[in-house]
A and B are shown apart, each in its own frame.
Chain A
Amino acid sequence: MSSPAPPVDTWLYPVGSGLYCEPGDFYVDPGRKVDRAVITHGHSDHARSGHGAVLATAETIAIMKVRYGEDCAGSFQALAFGETISINGVSVRLVPAGHILGSAQVVIEWARRRAVVSGDYKRAADPTCAPFEVVPCDVFITEATFGLPVFRHEKAAHEAEKLLASLAAEPDRTHLVGAYNLGKCQRMIRVVRDTGYDKPIYLHGGVMALTDLYGKLGIDLGELHAVSESDPKSMRGSIVMCPPSALGDRWSRRFGDPVTAFASGWMRVRGRSRQMGIELPLVVSDHVDWPELIQTIIETEAEEVWVTHGREDALVHYLGSIGKKARALALVGYGEEAE
């Protein structure tokens, strides 16, 4: 007879700079520089520069190098989906999270217990990354960016059709689409292509480097041009992709009277689009919405759910009401990067 397995929170717990695995002596998505970090995906609130050693998918490593430079960590180790390695006797495996290209859940096993750190994830189809896989576990450590029942995202294809319908209705106005420069931007372009739009799409300088990288990593995004190298007249009535912050920027004035669109799960709430002066809200998210969040938690069959960031109060309350053990980790610094 073996002795009972120690509870997960005795060997995996939050410290100031992220989630720490004590027997493995590594952090997952730490908020400050550490010796050993496992990184779920390339968004800046999860992947920071300056760690000693980084373990992540090859795509995430490539993204980090584009964003922070080749030397942004002491060393890199790429782990393919499904491969398992052992760190000081702790088994670590990466599984697709469906959030953006290269995004992974971290499956950590020690002392006959399994914890899954979801990172950010979604269940909706995304042609630019591998789909989320459910991993049954004892403890599921989830995000709750959209952890309120008012959040139900639209299908990305439906929102792409909305964008194209607006283009058809106002063919003289440039459609400026604000989208987060890693993941959302490339996904929107791909979905618009799949909806049958094959004209050139123009890019703000802030989305160029990562969009190029997606191309190099095999995601075909069709004909793309830099705004800075294009004749303003040729862009009239076209789609221009830009970071959300550029929508209200002086930069946007060159387009005359553009239609401002923003692709984000936040666009589900009118107040949010009004705050930003968005004329065409596109409810597309790279995070799970409320029904998907609940569905995923149930599918993992986890005994316990820890919530890293987002609207954790609502989620923890709800899980309690359906008899699931849940608690908020209140990790500082996550969710700072726009969705």
Chain B
Amino acid sequence: MRAFARLMDCLVYTQSRNRKVALLGHYFRSAPDPDRGWALAALTDGVPIRMPLRRMLSDLVSRFIDPVLYRLSRDYVGDTAETVSLLWPDDRVIVPEPPAETRVEADASKPRQLRLALEPRADVPELLAAKIGDNSGELPELSLGAVVAAMANGTTAERTERLGHLLDQLDATGRWALLKLIGGAPRVGVSARLARTALAESYSRDVSEIEEIWHALTPPYLDLFQWLEGNADRPDPGAKPVFRPVMLAHPVEEEDWPRLAPEDFIAEWKWDGIRVQIAARSGDVKMFSRQGDDISAAFPEIRSAFQDQDCVADGELLVMRDGEIAPFNDLQQRLNRKSITAKMMQMYPPHVRLYDLLFDGQEDLRTLPFEDRRARLEAWHAQHHPPLTDVSQLVGFKTFAELGELWSSARAEGIEGLMLKRRAGPYQAGRVKGEWFKWKRAALTLDCVLMYAQRGSGKRSSYYSDYTFGVWKTDDNGDRQLVPVGKAYSGFTDEELLILDKWIRGHTTEAFGPVRAVEPELVFEVAFDAVQSSTRHKSGVAMRFPRIHRIRWDKPAAEADTIESVLKLIGGASSEAAAAAGNPAQTTG
């Protein structure tokens, strides 16, 4: 636990990507099995332990701290694991064996109350085995394997006791690291992909070699480390569907145009959902995000749609009703869920619009030119037509000017931009230069008034960093009031954050929990990609990708925009755009 705690702590304080990779690499190469595998799991897919950790921690913490103080502390620190690790009393740690005479005395007087309460439970023998107890004077060393073993099984009550016992054996950093190990989403500035990249680099491998088998592996990844260390062959995913690294696009810049020949490229709409990869094999179907996260669990419909297929396909996940793409907000309702209700499935029906075919059966198509893969995709889809899918239609053009005209008239719901893909290009992992381009419209902007501010979490805990802003609406009595249209938490610098935080504290009119209402005086120029109708805000509209473009300290709030100017931006050109987009009819299965 000590090496892991040091690693996690250093990662938090390290900005440089290269230094993070070096820290991770050093750990993976020096830590023993299975500890390093559990650490890798914590940094990627999570250690597979299901338990109500937050409730268990409240239970433990309530034994020594008032719930109000705990809530205020949690609110300030912005992270449960860290709050608990800081609040946990240090004096409950297991003391080294007392000298003989005091032991006798203690035995004689009381039934060694303190020590008895802290004695390892008989049902966790691993705990005892794990205590190396090296450096005298320091706390006994606890292995990650022992922690996982202790937390893997038992009732919630039993595991709560064991967890408390484990926390008693560690210092504040160790407690924090332990909770990060078992808590999921550690937020130490390392993405799952970066962790895998560091692992690959530390063994001089390409990260795609790991990514391609990743989803067939299970923690603590003993076989993976065996292979990386040259003691075994690369683990064979067998018949399990696995992720293939995704090909990504560069935004097209002004200076790119002269270098691009229109005849070399195929254009298609960039749909406003999330990019996914579907891997189906032997009745097992997985859907991955473009970072390689498995998001299948939340989309059983898609899994059954591909049940009988054997392929790896690339596409856009959307919510679609009656052939119409629903606003992105609807798709968000289904994301980041471990399971899904029948009602959610009915309200937000998913759909996959296919862009590419990477594998047809066991045949790897990735080396083929895009043009050929596209033909294979169309043929494959015509033959199998899995339900809830269609093929993204191409946009025909002769010149970029012509394409630009088509593009400027398109503001259909669901179109986020235009993709240009080189006809002759193979499917390559990552953002390859000169192959794929995305052509997005310049952002729209509106002047909005700050209404509410909420404290951030993690890196921004205790600062008011999430802003809800509104525009003016004139009601039936002719009174002007602000109605919220969006929420943003990016687009400003750290220095601006400090100034905004101070401004908010000085202009608070009301506070409810972590949220403050402020005087309607500060104007943000907000940039966003589109406006959609929404039931979430009182104004009936919601912005897509809003971010603070500029803080208009100079602008009087009364001169901010009105709801009318926002409404004008909703789908004004949408029917026209749909026509221009040649929106394909939904394929039924």
Interface positions of A (Cβ within 8 A of B)? 148-150, 152, 248, 268-281, 311, 313-314, 317-318, 321
Contacts and interface: CB of A to CB of B under 8 A. Distances in A.
B414 interface: no
B69 to A, nearest CB: 6
Interface string B56-81: 00000000011011001100111100
Contacts of A273: 12-13
- Chain B binding surface SS class: helix
A271 B77 contact: yes
A276 B69 CA distance: 26
Contact of A318 (B69, B77, B497): B69
B465 to A, nearest CB: 9
Nearest to B493: A248
B65 A269 contact: no
A321 B86 CA distance: 21
Nearest to A267: B13
Interface string B73-95: 10011110011001100000000
A272 B462 CA distance: 8
Contact of A275 (B72, B76, B176, B460): B460
Contacts of B83: 150
A269 B69 contact: no
The 6 closest A-B CB pairs, nearest first, are: A271-B461, A150-B86, A274-B459, A314-B72, A150-B73, A279-B13
A269 B73 CA distance: 11
Given A271-B459, A275-B459, A275-B494, A148 B76 contact: yes
B73 A149 contact: yes
28 contacts: A149-B65, A149-B73, A268-B86, A269-B77, A269-B86, A270-B13, A270-B79, A270-B82, A270-B176, A271-B77, A271-B78, A271-B82, A271-B460, A271-B461, A271-B462, A272-B462, A273-B13, A274-B13, A274-B189, A275-B463, A276-B494, A278-B13, A280-B13, A311-B76, A314-B69, A314-B73, A317-B69, A318-B66
Nearest to B90: A152
Contacts of A271: 77-79, 82, 457-462
A14 to B, nearest CB: 17
Nearest to A257: B16
Given A149-B87, A271-B458, A275-B460, 11 more contacts: A149-B73, A271-B79, A271-B82, A271-B459, A274-B189, A276-B494, A278-B13, A313-B72, A317-B68, A317-B72, A318-B69
A315 to B, nearest CB: 10
Nearest to B10: A279
Nearest to A248: B494
A273 B495 CA distance: 14
Interface of B: 12-15, 65-66, 68-69, 72-73, 76-79, 82-83, 86-87, 176, 189, 457-463, 494-495, 497
A113 B358 CA distance: 84
Contacts of B86: 150, 152, 268-269
Contacts of B72: 148, 311, 313-314, 317
Nearest to A332: B506
A148, A273, A280, A313: most-surrounded residue (chain B CB, <10 A) = A148
Contacts of A274: 12-13, 189, 458-459
Nearest to B498: A275
B66 A321 contact: yes
A200 to B, nearest CB: 27
A148, A270, A274, A275: most-surrounded residue (chain B CB, <10 A) = A270
A147 B35 CA distance: 38
Contacts of B76: 148, 150, 269, 311
Contacts of B77: 150, 269, 271
A135 B560 CA distance: 55
A275 B15 CA distance: 11
Contacts of A270: 12-13, 79, 82, 176
B79 A150 contact: no
Contacts of B457: 271
Contacts of B458: 271, 274
Contacts of B73: 148-150, 314
Nearest to B495: A248
Given A317-B69, A318-B69, A269 B459 contact: no
A318 B14 CA distance: 36
A318 to B, nearest CB: 6
Contacts of B497: 275
A245 B12 CA distance: 21
A281 B13 contact: yes
B15 A279 contact: yes
A22 B189 CA distance: 54
A322 B12 CA distance: 37
A252 B281 CA distance: 55
A277 B461 contact: no
Given A150-B87, A272-B462, A275-B494, A317 B15 contact: no
B460 to A, nearest CB: 6
Nearest to A270: B12
A280 B15 CA distance: 11
A270 B189 CA distance: 12
Contacts of B176: 270
Contacts of A280: 13
Contacts of B459: 271, 274-275
B522 to A, nearest CB: 19
A268, A271, A273, A280: most-surrounded residue (chain B CB, <10 A) = A271
Contact of B66 (A278, A279, A317): A317
Contacts of B462: 269, 271-272
A338 to B, nearest CB: 10
Contacts of A277: 15, 494
A248 B497 CA distance: 14
A283 to B, nearest CB: 10
Contacts of A268: 86
A162 to B, nearest CB: 12
A281 B12 CA distance: 11
Contacts of A278: 13
Contacts of B79: 270-271
B66, B457, B495: most-surrounded residue (chain A CB, <10 A) = B66
Contact of A269 (B14, B66, B82, B494): B82
A23 to B, nearest CB: 32
A149 B13 CA distance: 23
Contacts of B78: 271
A277 B494 CA distance: 10
A267 to B, nearest CB: 10
A152 B83 CA distance: 12
Contacts of A311: 72, 76
